[in-house]
Structure 1
Amino acid sequence: MSKILIAFYSRNGSTEALAKAVAEGAQAAGAEVRLRRARELVSEEVMKAAPGWLENARRMNAAYEAPTTADAEWADGIILGTPTRFGSVTSELKAWIDGLGGLWAKGALNGKAGSAFSSTSTAHGGNEATILGLYPPLAHLGLVIVPPGYADPVMYAAGTPYGATSISGQNATPPTDADLAAARFQGRRVAEVAAVLAPLRG
């Protein structure tokens, strides 16, 4: 059994839905899971300019704790989830990652499993670029990057070999069943690899 941290940011709920599916997959593999949502960096006035942002933030912040460095140290595997922002990771999730410097300095994350998933509102809005953009921080922190690849038939129907994805469109369409199946497989795969890696860390 492994311990999996899923640290994500979501604004309209698409990435949240993927994160929950990733958690289901990890739990199906016997993992203990912590699901955590990164917090906003902007004021409520800024959030009010985007319909639904403030309301969704309040709902999700009530449902999920914020990720901490203690969560990262606890975990055998860390899976990062984010919407795209101009083709890249959100500042909210990146701010949490940037706060892991103390763990990096003492090598506390070396040898743990790491993975990433993403959602976007447009068909070519940067899902793959965003996931690949999270690989360098995972590598710097010493994690062993675990992509889903095409190791399960569900990956031929949705997602990417780099990580689960979804496209919400302009109406915040939820992830499809195929998207969620890919996310569940990613969670299971990371949990299984993390369980193998954990004893090797000594």
Structure 2
Amino acid sequence: MATNVLIAFYSRGGTIETLANAIAEGARAEGAEVRLRRARELVSAELMAKVPGWSENAARQNALYEAPAEADADWADAIVLGTPTRFGAVSSELKAYIDGLGGLWFQGKLNGKAGSVFASTSTNHGGNESTILSLYNPLAHLGLVIVPLGYADASLYKAGTPYGASAVVNGRDLLAPTEDDLAVARFQGCRVARIATALKPLRAVG
């Protein structure tokens, strides 16, 4: 039976979306079944209209990806969370999804599943590591086994962080994640899928 990997993310301009798809590619290379889910906006359409491209990108992505649901987390053997930095922390859109998992937490249904995180920012030293690490807290509370990357692959010596894949995209000279960024993301997908597969029999015996 295939290992199920949920990649739940929020992406406004497409950077996190691109990393999410690279992580999905890595997980699928390990034989995993993947669900990509995009968290929805919490702000008004009027506010979105003030930022060039926001409304259009949201509409495009929402047509491609369903919103994450509690059932997706229940289905998953691994949950990978992706978010842009918001003042050095998780976006409210993704946090709202995490906050909605209390029912599964109460039932203990997430215990022993693999959990991992990735992030992006638009400035150097803009909070990728602090954002990823801040999400380790809810992963621990939910009972997931946190899967960092360490330096277990050569790609980590060129990009990313030992905590999770990342990218810096400023929209000027840096328009999208680099190939080095994507290599780390693919490795993250592979690593998470492998560890989730190893954890499955342990979860079955409690």
**Quick check: 1:79 aligned with 2:80?**
yes
Q: Which residues in structure 2 correspond to 1:7-22 (within 5 Å)?
A: 7-22=8-23
The aligned residue for residue 51 of structure 1 is 52
Rounded to whole Å, the distance in 2 between the matches of 1:148 and 1:190 is: 9
Contact 1:87 1:127 in 2 (8 A): yes
1:104 aligns with: 105
Structure 2 residue 70 is matched with structure 1 residue 69: yes
> Alignment RMSD, CA only?
0.7
Q: Please give the alpha-carbon distance, in whole angstroms, between the structure 1 residues aligned to 2:171 and 2:5.
A: 32
Aligned to 1:42: 43
Alignment of 1:124-163 (within 5 A): 124-163=125-164
* Structure 1 unaligned spans of 5+: none
Aligned residue identity for 1:84: T
Q: CA deviation at 1:187?
A: 0.5
Q: Secondary structure at the match of 1:36?
A: strand
Give the counterpart letter for 1:88 in structure 2.
A
Residue by residue over 1:12-51, the C-alpha shift from the partner in whole angstroms, topping out at 9 and shown as x without a partner, is 0000000000000000011000000000001110101111
CA distance in 1 between counterparts of 2:167 and 2:155 reads: 14
Give yes or no for contact 1:167–1:173 (8 Å, CA) kept in 2. Answer: no
Find runs of 4+ consecutive structure 1 residues off by over 6 angstroms.
Answer: none
Deviation at 1:148, TM superposition (A): 1.1
> CA shift at 1:170, angstroms?
3.7
| Corresponding residue of 1:194 | 196
Could you say which residue in structure 2 is the equivalent of 1:176?
Answer: 178
Partner Cα separation in structure 2 for residue 116 and residue 169 of structure 1: 21
The one-letter amino acid of 1:144's match is V
Offset, 1:111: 0.1
Give the TM-score, by structure 2 length: 0.97
Q: CA deviation at 1:184?
A: 0.2
Opposite residue 22 of structure 2, the aligned amino acid is A
The percentage of aligned residue pairs carrying the same residue is 69
Q: SS at 2:8's partner residue? A: strand
Three-state SS of the structure 2 residue aligned to 1:5 is strand
Unaligned runs of 5+ in 2: none
Q: Who is 1:33 aligned against?
A: 34
State the partner residue of 2:91. Answer: 90
